[in-house]
């Protein structure tokens, strides 16, 4: 008798994770005798020029999350103390009924301001981001969190200087003769971008990387400027000033297409090469070389990352950096301009919402939850609904966040895929689907594409989407809602490319003019950072994770990287157990010693789960909950520490 092999099917979908690449995926499922479907392989699908036939190692293993032992498969209700993570299994009816009761009670006694929608969903598809959960909280007039934790400062800076101007197309970087990668680590965080840069290099392009660390791209670059964190404003002004003396300012373009250039350049004049070298920790020669290469290379492409934004000078730095392609007239031809986030309003899916009243809502800064929800604070919050976020790991000042989440007078719901450090503090945990379990659509912040997302398998366990949770809760609260249909789900399985046009040719900032001076905040000006301790601790993206996702099965080590000179000065060696501390906190980790970071700058990965640290807290025990001066964006890299042997 021949044994029947299980049937296999390959489904085309797309990656919805918080990564600029938004790869097209081919997912192989095995279909059992009873019709049950199980993911057995995840790889690239053809047809997406950025994906180019390969995906990252993380998502090749994404099924380990889908079928993780930590996966939440039923609603759970807390039985232990907050933080203990002890729960009993509950039905959906009981869980939704309990949440609805607590919400009604809170609204009745303290008004809708007492309900806080702590929704982020940056690794979800477009429908799941703007789901019925969001519509419900809008209809209730609940408080919502402003997404201050990431890209808030960079985004506001772009809006300030370039208005609605879309990013240059990352695919166009192949045409550049100079590529300036400023505060980005694409090898890790936008992994399909470096091969495009290599194509430009093969045609003779130069590459400059501006980063306190010698990243993989910096290692291969023609020039690496290991700037001090938070000093980019000064570097940008020094380049502009050098251009002013060497004919690098494109006067005709600036007169036609920029406002505030004279005022901007007056500030730049303060930053001679020597003055800038002092503050940035660079040599005057290197700054001049970058300025000269940029002045004489056409087309030149700037790729700005999210490194420059994460400090108190973040807004000033991003605005000053974005002024450079305008001042130099580096726009208008393929391979020129600036690549930022390609996220674009026109490609969001449209849904037909029920007609709802939308009462005014108050806004709370996401990254400061440890402050506004601190025990004893006078904020009216009574119900906190967390969805698509892991604040106990990812928000700054972990001890304050833990204290806030430990409050017994705040009823906390966490809608999650897996049991995280945040679910430990939940009164109710609701099981969430992954993007392999529902239909959706996804746009991208690193390419101009829209792609359908397919339900490859049935929802695991009793998990439900953000949309379904919103509907269930809305109905329990007396709204007669069903999920509204989606107006745009492409029928074809592949990516659709959205044409956006070329900067300053087809697309324009404000009435054709960039604003080098912000109407409220003026000229971008560097403010010296108050370094209370000798070492600056930065915490960039890790190749093993997307933020904290996948930390359940492949965690980066809980370690800190230090330059050999700093280690020698402290008589420390690689492998030592060390204590990283400042006035806010102290953590014990292993020491790595390598010259891939500049002296004075130490590095830990963002997103490591608290359980991987011996004392149950990680890097964010040390990061401040302060905000940047432009829009109160998170300042993770304003972390000043000392390190000694544990
Ligand atoms: N594998 C993986 N990919 C990811 C993510 C992930 O966690 N893992 N996260 C995703 C998300 S949410 C985001 S926002 C993006 C982030 O993508 P990136 O923009 O690449 O952000 P980071 O890794 O935070 O930092 C980028 C670089 O900035 C440098 N840097 C730090 N401070 C400064 C500074 O003051 N000035 C300058 N010039 N450089 C500085 C750091 O050393 C780092 O190499 O990546 C996305 N992609
Ligand atoms: N020290 C330090 N900390 C940082 C940063 C830093 O540079 N340094 N950078 C920050 C950055 S760039 C960012 S973007 C933030 C990220 O902060 P968070 O968004 O809080 O971090 P994530 O790990 O992405 O958490 C998202 C959670 O949502 C869950 N999830 C994913 N998809 C869905 C879904 O469809 N529905 C539901 N209900 N849940 C879902 C995931 O399982 C995951 O636990 O962290 C910031 N934290
Ligand atoms: S995480 Fe990024 S690189 Fe990896 S598959 Fe998803 S989109 Fe592609
Ligand atoms: Mo982010």
Q: CA angle, corner 510, sides to 508 and 511, nearest 5?
A: 80
**Ligand 4: distance of its center to the CA of 18 in Å?**
7
278, 232: one domain: yes
195, 216: one domain: yes
Domain-embedded: residue 619: yes
251, 334: one domain: yes
Domain-embedded: residue 353: no
331, 284: one domain: yes
Kindly state the tokens that stand for 211.
């980063």
Last residue of a domain, one of 466, 487, 515: 515
Which ligand 1 atom sits nearest the alpha carbon of residue 231? 35
Give the residue whose CA is nearest to atom 7 of ligand 3: 22
List Cβ neighbours of 552 (8 Å cut-off, separation of 6 or more): 65, 68, 70, 418, 609
CA distances from 420 to 83, 177, 417, 610 (A): 11, 45, 9, 9
The answer to whether the beta carbons of residues 561 and 594 sit under 8 Å apart is yes
Q: How far apart are CA 87 and CA 355, in angstroms?
A: 38
Query: What pLDDT sits at residue 65?
Result: 98
Domain-embedded: residue 352: no
**Ligand 3: distance of its center to the CA of 15 in Å?**
6
**Ligand 1: distance of its center to the CA of 439 in Å?**
30
pTM: 0.97
Boundaries of domain holding 440 = 76-146+371-496
Which ligand 1 atom sits nearest the alpha carbon of residue 58? 1
**What is the mean predicted confidence (pLDDT) over 47-60?**
97
128, 191: one domain: no
Q: How far apart are CA 239 and CA 47, in angstroms?
A: 40
List Cβ neighbours of 123 (8 Å cut-off, separation of 6 or more): 16, 17, 18, 388, 546, 547, 549
Query: What pLDDT sits at residue 345?
Result: 55
Q: What is the pLDDT of residues 282-297, one digit of tens each?
A: 999 999 999 999 999 9
**What is the mean predicted confidence (pLDDT) over 317-326?**
98
Q: Quick count: other Cβ atoms within 10 Å of Cβ 600?
A: 17
83, 60: one domain: no
DSSP string, 85-128: --EEE--HHHHHHHHHHHHHHHHHHH-GGGEEEEE--TTS-HHH
Kindly state the tokens that stand for 6.
């299980």
Residue 346 has pLDDT above 80, yes or no: no
HEC states along 596-634?
Answer: CECCCEEECCCCCCHHHCCCCCCHHHCCCCCECCCCCCE
Q: Quick count: other Cβ atoms within 10 Å of Cβ 387?
A: 25
Q: Is the CB of 58 under 6 A from ligand 3?
A: yes
Band the pLDDT of 513: cuts 50, 70, 90: very high
Give the residue whose CA is nearest to atom 18 of ligand 1: 184
Backbone conformation region of residue 571, classed left if phi is above 0, alpha if psi is from -120 to 50, else beta: left
Q: Which of 13, 18, 23, 554 to mutate to test the pocket of ligand 3 (most atoms within 8 A of CB)?
A: 23
Give the residue whose CA is nearest to atom 39 of ligand 2: 388
Q: Which of 417, 462, 468, 613 to mutate to test the pocket of ligand 2 (most atoms within 8 A of CB)?
A: 417
Band the pLDDT of 81: cuts 50, 70, 90: very high
Give the residue whose CA is nearest to atom 4 of ligand 3: 56
Q: How far apart are CA 417 and CA 70, in angstroms?
A: 8
Q: Quick count: other Cβ atoms within 10 Å of Cβ 26?
A: 16
Which ligand 2 atom sits nearest the alpha carbon of residue 125? 35
Query: What pLDDT sits at residue 244?
Result: 98
Ligand that comes closest to the CA of residue 149: 2
Backbone angles phi, psi at 208, to 5 degrees: -120, 135
Give the residue whose CA is nearest to atom 12 of ligand 2: 150
Q: What is the pLDDT of residues 186-234, one digit of tens each?
A: 999 999 999 999 999 999 999 999 999 999 999 999 999 999 999 999 9
Q: Which of 158, 181, 183, 191 to mutate to test the pocket of ligand 1 (most atoms within 8 A of CB)?
A: 183
**Ligand 2: distance of its center to the CA of 123 in Å?**
7
The answer to whether the beta carbons of residues 43 and 26 sit under 8 Å apart is yes
Q: How far apart are CA 536 and CA 638, in angstroms?
A: 7
Q: How deeply is 34 buried, as exposed, middle or buried, from its count of CB atoms within 10 A (0-12, 13-18, 19+)?
A: exposed
List Cβ neighbours of 333 (8 Å cut-off, separation of 6 or more): 175, 298, 299, 502
**What is the mean predicted confidence (pLDDT) over 25-30?**
98
Q: What is the pLDDT of residues 614-643, one digit of tens each?
A: 999 999 999 999 999 999 999 999 999 999
Q: Is the CB of 308 under 6 A from ligand 2?
A: no
Q: What is the pLDDT of residues 100-134, one digit of tens each?
A: 999 999 999 999 999 999 999 999 999 999 899 99
Q: Is the CB of 124 under 6 A from ligand 2?
A: yes
The answer to whether the beta carbons of residues 467 and 136 sit under 8 Å apart is no
Which ligand 2 atom sits nearest the alpha carbon of residue 620? 1
Query: What pLDDT sits at residue 490?
Result: 47
DSSP string, 202-224: HTT-EEEEE-SB--HHHHHSSEE
Domain-embedded: residue 196: yes
**Ligand 2: distance of its center to the CA of 137 in Å?**
21
Domain-embedded: residue 349: no
Q: What is the pLDDT of residues 126-160, one digit of tens each?
A: 999 989 999 999 999 999 999 999 999 999 999 99
Q: Tell me, what CATH number does 432's domain have?
A: 3.40.50.740
**Ligand 3: distance of its center to the CA of 17 in Å?**
7
Strands (E), 253-313: 258-259, 300-304
**What is the mean predicted confidence (pLDDT) over 2-18?**
88
Give me the residue label for tokens 């933080």: 83
Q: Which of 12, 49, 56 to mutate to test the pocket of ligand 3 (most atoms within 8 A of CB)?
A: 56
Q: Is the CB of 311 under 6 A from ligand 1?
A: yes
HEC states along 515-566?
Answer: ECCECCCECCCCCCCCCCCCEEEECCCCCCCECCECCCCCCCCCEEEECHHH
Domain-embedded: residue 345: no
Q: What is the pLDDT of residues 447-494, one digit of tens each?
A: 999 899 999 999 999 999 999 999 999 999 999 888 776 665 545 557
Kindly state the tokens that stand for 162.
């370039």
Residue 1 has pLDDT above 60, yes or no: no
Q: Is the CB of 59 under 6 A from ligand 3?
A: yes
Question: In what helix (H) or strand (E) does residue 57 lie, and over which residues does it extend?
Answer: helix 57-60
Residue 26 has pLDDT above 70, yes or no: yes
Q: Is the CB of 213 under 6 A from ligand 2?
A: no
Domain-embedded: residue 571: yes
List Cβ neighbours of 367 (8 Å cut-off, separation of 6 or more): 148, 149, 395, 396, 625, 627, 634
Ligand that comes closest to the CA of residue 466: 2
Mean confidence (pLDDT) of the chain: 95
List Cβ neighbours of 25 (8 Å cut-off, separation of 6 or more): 12, 13, 14, 15, 42, 43, 44, 45, 55, 59
| DSSP symbol at 34 | T
Residue 9 has pLDDT above 60, yes or no: yes
Question: In what helix (H) or strand (E) does residue 25 lie, and over which residues does it extend?
Answer: strand 24-31
279, 196: one domain: yes
**Ligand 1: distance of its center to the CA of 435 in Å?**
24
Q: Is the CB of 308 under 6 A from ligand 1?
A: yes
Q: CA angle, corner 367, sides to 182 and 98, nearest 5?
A: 140
Q: Tell me, what CATH number does 588's domain have?
A: 2.40.40.20
Q: Is the CB of 271 under 6 A from ligand 2?
A: no
Band the pLDDT of 497: cuts 50, 70, 90: confident
Structural domain tally of the chain?
A: 4
482, 394: one domain: yes
177, 277: one domain: yes
104, 18: one domain: no
Q: Which of 14, 59, 150 to mutate to test the pocket of ligand 2 (most atoms within 8 A of CB)?
A: 150
Q: How far apart are CA 233 and CA 178, in angstroms?
A: 21
Coil/strand/helix, residue 641:
strand
Q: Is the CB of 550 under 6 A from ligand 2?
A: no
395, 491: one domain: yes
Ligand that comes closest to the CA of residue 123: 2
Q: Tell me, what CATH number does 258's domain have?
A: 3.40.228.10
Which ligand 3 atom sits nearest the alpha carbon of residue 58? 4
Q: Is the CB of 232 under 6 A from ligand 1?
A: yes
Which ligand 2 atom sits nearest the alpha carbon of residue 16? 32
Domain-embedded: residue 243: yes
Torsion sign over Cα 528, 530, 531, 536:
negative
Q: Quick count: other Cβ atoms within 10 Å of Cβ 406?
A: 15
570, 591: one domain: yes
**What is the mean predicted confidence (pLDDT) over 562-566?**
98
């Amino acid at each position: 008798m021949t044994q029947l092999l299980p049937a296999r099917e390959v489904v085309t979908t797309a990656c919805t994770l918080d990564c600029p690449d938004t790869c097209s995926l081919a997912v192989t499922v095995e279909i059992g005798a009873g019709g049950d479907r199980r993911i057995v392989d995840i790889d690239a699908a053809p047809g997406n020029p950025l994906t180019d036939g390969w995906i990252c190692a993380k998502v090749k293993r994404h099924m380990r999350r889908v079928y993780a032992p930590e996966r939440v498969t039923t609603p759970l209700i807390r039985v232990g103390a907050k933080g203990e993570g002890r729960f009993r299994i509950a039905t959906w009816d009981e869980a939704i009924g309990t949440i609805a009761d607590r919400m009604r009670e809170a609204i009745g006694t303290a008004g809708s301001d007492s309900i806080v929608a702590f929704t982020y969903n940056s690794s979800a598809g477009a429908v799941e981001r703007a789901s019925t959960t969001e519509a419900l909280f809008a209809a209730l007039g609940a408080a919502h969190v402003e997404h201050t934790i990431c890209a808030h400062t960079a985004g506001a800076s772009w809006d300030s200087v370039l208005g609605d101007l879309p990013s240059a197309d990352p695919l166009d970087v192949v045409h550049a003769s100079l590529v300036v990668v400023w505060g980005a680590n694409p090898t890790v965080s936008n992994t399909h971008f470096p091969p495009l840069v290599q194509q430009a290099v093969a045609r003779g392009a130069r590459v400059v990387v501006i980063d306190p660390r010698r990243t993989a791209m910096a290692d291969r670059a023609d020039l690496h400027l290991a700037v001090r964190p938070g000093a980019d404003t000064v570097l940008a002004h020094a380049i502009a000033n050098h251009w002013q003396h060497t004919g690098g300012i494109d006067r005709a373009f600036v007169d036609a297409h920029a406002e505030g250039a004279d005022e901007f350049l007056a500030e730049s004049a303060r930053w001679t090469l020597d003055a800038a070298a002092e503050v940035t920790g660079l040599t005057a020669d290197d700054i001049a070389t970058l300025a000269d290469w940029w002045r004489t290379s056409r087309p030149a492409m700037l790729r700005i990352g999210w490194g420059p934004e994460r400090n108190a000078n973040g807004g000033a730095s991003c605005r000053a950096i974005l002024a450079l392609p305008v001042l130099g007239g580096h726009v208008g031809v393929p391979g020129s301009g600036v690549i930022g986030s390609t996220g674009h309003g026109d490609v969001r899916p449209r849904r037909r919402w029920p007609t709802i009243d939308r009462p005014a809502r108050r806004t709370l800064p996401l990254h400061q939850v440890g402050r506004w929800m601190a025990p004893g604070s006078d904020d009216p919050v009574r119900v906190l609904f967390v969805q698509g976020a892991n604040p106990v790991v990812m928000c700054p000042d972990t001890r304050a966040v833990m204290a806030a989440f430990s409050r017994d007078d705040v009823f906390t719901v966490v809608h999650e895929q897996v049991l995280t450090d945040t679910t430990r503090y939940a009164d109710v945990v609701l099981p969430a689907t992954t993007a392999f379990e529902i239909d959706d659509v996804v746009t991208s912040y690193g390419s101009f594409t829209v792609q359908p997302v397919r339900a490859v398998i049935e929802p695991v366990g009793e998990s439900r989407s953000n949309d379904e949770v919103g509907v269930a809760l809305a109905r329990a609260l007396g709204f007669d809602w069903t999920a509204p249909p989606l107006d745009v789900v492409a029928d074809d399985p592949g990516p659709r490319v959205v044409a956006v046009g070329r900067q300053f040719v087809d697309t324009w900032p404000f009435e054709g003019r960039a604003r080098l001076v912000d109407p409220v905040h003026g000229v971008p000006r560097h403010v010296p950072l108050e370094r209370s301790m000798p070492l600056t601790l930065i915490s960039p993206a890790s190749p093993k994770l997307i933020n904290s996702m996948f930390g359940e099965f492949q965690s980066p080590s809980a370690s800190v990287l230090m330059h050999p000179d700093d280690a020698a000065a402290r008589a420390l060696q690689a492998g030592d157990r060390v204590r990283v501390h400042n006035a806010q906190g102290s953590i014990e980790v292993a020491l790595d010693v390598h010259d891939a970071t500049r002296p004075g700058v130490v590095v830990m990965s963002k997103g490591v789960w608290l359980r991987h640290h011996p004392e149950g807290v990680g890097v964010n025990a040390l990061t401040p909950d302060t905000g940047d001066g432009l829009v109160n964006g998170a300042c993770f890299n304003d972390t000043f520490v000392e390190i000694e042997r544990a």
